[in-house]
Structure 1
Amino acid sequence: MLPNFTEISNLQNAVAKNSDESAYRKLFVLFYTPVIRFAKAIIHSEEVAEELYADAMMKIWLMGPKLEQVIDFRVYLFTLVKNSAFNHLKKYKGYNYVELDDLETFPISNETPINHIIEKELEQSLKKAIDTLPPKCQVVYRLVKNEGFSYKQVSEILSISTNTIEGHMTNALKKITFHMRKHLNS
């Protein structure tokens, strides 16, 4: 889980005001996994996601004092990476990326081998359910459920209305619920 808004803002200001490399490194590490996961959900390539993240963080470093004007660093960073990912997709339209493992993870229980098997089976079923969602619906679902963004923040990141976010989430939850019920009843 990411630190709270104040801690992130303090690191952001240290980078903006003092070019603090230590604060920059902390921001880089803090956001690495969630942003890579987000970019990978859009472009389906971990290598490209890492490049986009590195480019975005370089832009942030080069902003210097202008970085102080950013109100919500998380939203700004995710929006920057989203725009880069969509630009990359436009540039390489028609190029098929190999889809890597899904983002969903479950805690592994060491209670019994049967429980472990059941958890793995549920995890695979949930992964399949999420994979069947339309691409934009998947991105919205992951930002809300995996990254903990509010509907309003996702709306800002994706430049779509909160009503559209609600629609995507309703659609995602209905489809996932239907898929999981079907799986559990089989």
Structure 2
Amino acid sequence: MRTKQTISDQDLQAKLIAGEETAFSELYDRYSDAISAHIRKFVNSSDLAEDLTQEVFIKVWQCKSRLDEVRSIKAYLFIMARNHTINSLKKAMRSDVAMAEVINSFVEQRNDTEEELLSKEYLEYLEKALSDLPYRTREVFRLCRQEGKSYDEVAFALGISRNAVKNHMVGSMKILSASVKKDLGISLSVLLTVFLK
């Protein structure tokens, strides 16, 4: 439970500019929940919102000497949170892990019918892409990626060497990756992570 607010934002701001760590702790206690909730509206992910909130407050501490130009520390925090979140999302879109997180979050926000339709479309796309692969390569891919079998298990089941399984997987991943990137604008790992989990 939060302690009762004892000093004004203006006094808190002055103490922060002076480099008082207790003022920073008070600022964090006072506004971190609200900032995190604000960021969550952009990212739909509690974990990501928490990380971005931490980064916003770190930036405030690092730039505390410039706070004397700020009229309202509260408004400043919200503007900084919004700008930092947007900039982070732009960078994150270049990362497969972050893209998967955003897509996962988006999928969770939709209703079951929408999710089913989108998953069906992606799975149909994957099936079509797989159908262009040679039969044995397709079979190896299904066993390894869709059924989660190890290379050794697949090699034993199909009566081929582990090295042959590996070669089939490398070949299929190259072809599918290029196809998915070209047609969907995402990486194969994102597609598999989100829709074949």
Q: Normalising TM by the smaller chain, what interval? A: 0.3 to 0.5
Instruction: State the structure with more CA Rg.
Output: 2
- TM normalised by structure 1 equals 0.47
The structure where helix makes up a greater share of residues is 2
Compare relative contact order (CA 8 Å, sep 6+) and give the higher one, 1 or 2: 1
- TM normalised by structure 2 equals 0.45
